[in-house]
Amino acid sequence: MFIQFQTHPDAYRHWRLKIESQIARLVLDVKEDEGLYKDYKLKLNSYDLSVDIELADAISRIRFEHPEVKVVVISSGNERAFSAGANIFMLGQSSHEFKVNFCKFTNETRLYMEDASLHSGIHFICAASGTTAGGGYELALACDEIILVDDGNSAVSLPEVPLLGVLPGTGGLTRVVDKRKVRKDLADVFCTISEGIKGERAVSWNLVDTVVSKSHFQDAVEKRAQEVAGQTDKSIKKDIQLAPIICQSSNNLFQYDYVHLEIDIEKRLATITIEAPRTPQPETAEEISQLGSELWALKAFRELDEAILKLRFNFCDIGLIIFKTKGNPAHILDAEKSLLQLTKTSQPFWFAKEVLLHMKRVLKRIDVTSRSLVTLIEPHSAFAGSLAELVFAADRSYMLSHSESFIQLSNISHETLPMGNGLSRLEARYYGAPDMLENVRHRFSEGPIDAKTCQTLGLVTFVLDEIDYEDEVRLFLEERTSLSPDALTGMEANLRFIGPETLETKIFSRLSAWQNWVFIRDNATGPTGALSNYGKPTRPQFDFTRC
């Protein structure tokens, strides 16, 4: 089954989205029989990838199509549960690579919510009732505050360790201690009690913010939403409708408007070519609004985002992504300069800000994609501005020494598109070498940087002449795809995130290493493992060797 990532509120099966002035209401009401696959039931608002694809779409639409929204209330349409988390039977029968990519996508969506809170002034309130377990509680943790029903039954829990032999691997452990700052010994108790914590104890341990009796619950949630909406300064009138992303495909070729994805199954390679704007982009807020989702900076990066997700879930054997660009670099630089200027006024233009935040999110998704990344800078490439970020995101870059091969840098690479560690990709590249970084920053407005200067500045890995370029690139591709994918994923995840550790880098390092490792161990997924035996009359049998 080829997994698609586009949807629309009219096509949602598991979420109901309702906009009431400045408050958005997202109701999780999972249809048991309408999961991604048909051989499991999504009981108790448990979810699979199809549920999270809709949630990711809803958050995007709130940010772009309903910029007036100040508060999002996430609640349940199921009387027995807010959410029982990721569907266990789905996990038990899924391939290893699907499980890990599912966890990764789920957490990227939750980080997108937190980004909307931090940068777009959207306050998320989770109204939790009934079972709020595992990934359901992790969704609650992504919100700004959690209001829990105090009815003697409703509880929050992370039961993966005692029940399944796996981890709350999409951010649960990290958010409990880093975000909610639960004391580590109490967190230890919490994560090993499968029935969870309820009532005032949940408040005193800081697992939730408030508990309210069942008879007053809806009124308390409504009062809090109205209160927050009244405190938030966000006066926006015009919205932007997100048009469908059009893709023509045949024989492992996927052609979008600005992004071209070509898959070579035999060589286990994917080539993504991104085209610069074909014409000069608008400069004023009014002109940019009129283009809406046709604006290059939004459209091209939405297409790039979908191409990356296609690779993750539908082409798991692909080991390496080659990034190429083409077109007029000046159009990129001028377009991004206008966006940056419109966000630095006394009244920043909200749409320009959201476009830049979306670009940041897509580049972050590339950073944590478990594929080797290489950029090829060739004559008539367009590695300028935001597309130059692909050079610095890559594990390696090869540049052909030619008069038409160059890179162009801009201020967008300074603070606008940080990685998950809070550093720009240039700061990460020159970590510990501030003088080199300063030399590069002086080049932001000096025009094209030729191959020789790129080599001197350390902007690329290798600069090669026409005699050696083709053979050296070919040898690299052949060597890279011959190495152990497990070792490469671990190596790349370690090398890409230099410097400070953040909640975000912790989540993904643990997801890439610990959860990856735990999922494949017999104690979890072997014939006698906890996940494999969940719901069966047999009990798990563990190998108790600690390593």
pLDDT band at 15 (very low <50, low <70, confident <90, very high): very high
What is the set of domains in the chain, with CATH numbers? 9-231 (3.90.226.10), 248-488 (3.90.226.10), 490-533 (no CATH)
pLDDT at position 531? 83
Summarize pLDDT for 430-444 with one digit per residue, the tens. 999 999 999 999 888
In this prediction, residues 513-522 reach a mean pLDDT of 77
As a whole number of angstroms, the longest Cα–Cα distance in the chain is 78
| pLDDT category of residue 233 using cuts at 50, 70 and 90 | low
Question: Please, which pLDDT band fits residue 55 given cuts at 50, 70 and 90?
Answer: very high
Instruction: Identify the burial level of 487 via C-beta atoms within 10 angstroms of its C-beta, where 0-12 means exposed, 13-18 middle and 19 or more buried.
Output: exposed
End-to-end CA distance of the chain: 37
Whole-angstrom Cα Rg for the chain: 24
Tell me the three state secondary structure of residue 322: strand
pLDDT recorded at residue 533:
86
Distance CA 218, CA 547 (A): 48
As a whole number, the mean pLDDT across the chain is 94
| 394-444: pLDDT as tens digits | 999 999 999 999 999 999 998 899 999 999 999 999 999 999 999 999 888
Q: What does the pLDDT read at residue 10?
A: 96
Q: How far does CA 499 lie from the centroid of its chain? A: 20
Distances (CA, A) of 392 to 221, 413, 458, 478: 45, 10, 10, 22
Beta strands in 44-137 (DSSP E): 71-76, 81-83, 123-128, 131-133
247 closest CA partner among 197, 314, 174: 314
According to the model, what pLDDT value does residue 490 have? 84
Does residue 7 carry a pLDDT above 70?
yes
How far is residue 95's CA from residue 278's CA, in Å, rounded to a whole number? 41
Per-residue confidence (pLDDT) for residue 534, from 0 to 100: 86
79 CB neighbour count, 10 Å cutoff: 7
C-alpha–C-alpha distance, residues 227 and 96, integer Å: 45
- Distance (Å, whole) CA 295 – CA 303: 12
CA pair distance 301, 356, nearest whole angstrom: 10
pLDDT at 62 over 70: yes
In the predicted structure, residue 29 carries a pLDDT above the cut 80: yes
Number of Cβ within a 10 Å radius of residue 206: 15
Burial readout 432-457 (b: 16 or more C-beta within 10 A, e: otherwise): eeeebbeebeebeeeebbbbeebbeb
Nearest-angstrom CA–CA distance, 222 and 361:
31
Rounded to an integer, what distance in angstroms lies between the CA atom of residue 96 and that of residue 92?
A: 10
pTM score, whole prediction: 0.95
Residue 384: closest CA among 352, 359, 413: 413
pLDDT of residue 354: 97
- pLDDT at residue 165 is higher than 90: no
Cα dihedral 231, 235, 237, 243, rounded to 10, equals -70
What confidence category does residue 518 fall into, taking pLDDT thresholds of 50, 70 and 90?
A: confident
Count of CB atoms situated within 10 Å of the CB of 284: 11
The residues with which 255 forms a beta bridge, in sequence order, are: 248, 260
* Segment 275-286, tens digit of pLDDT: 999 999 999 999
DSSP codes, 120-179: H-PEEEEEE-SEEETHHHHHHHTSSEEEEEESSS-EEE--IIIIISS--TTTHHHIIIII
pLDDT (0 to 100) of residue 234: 63
What is d(CA 382, CA 400) in angstroms, rounded to the nearest whole number?
A: 14
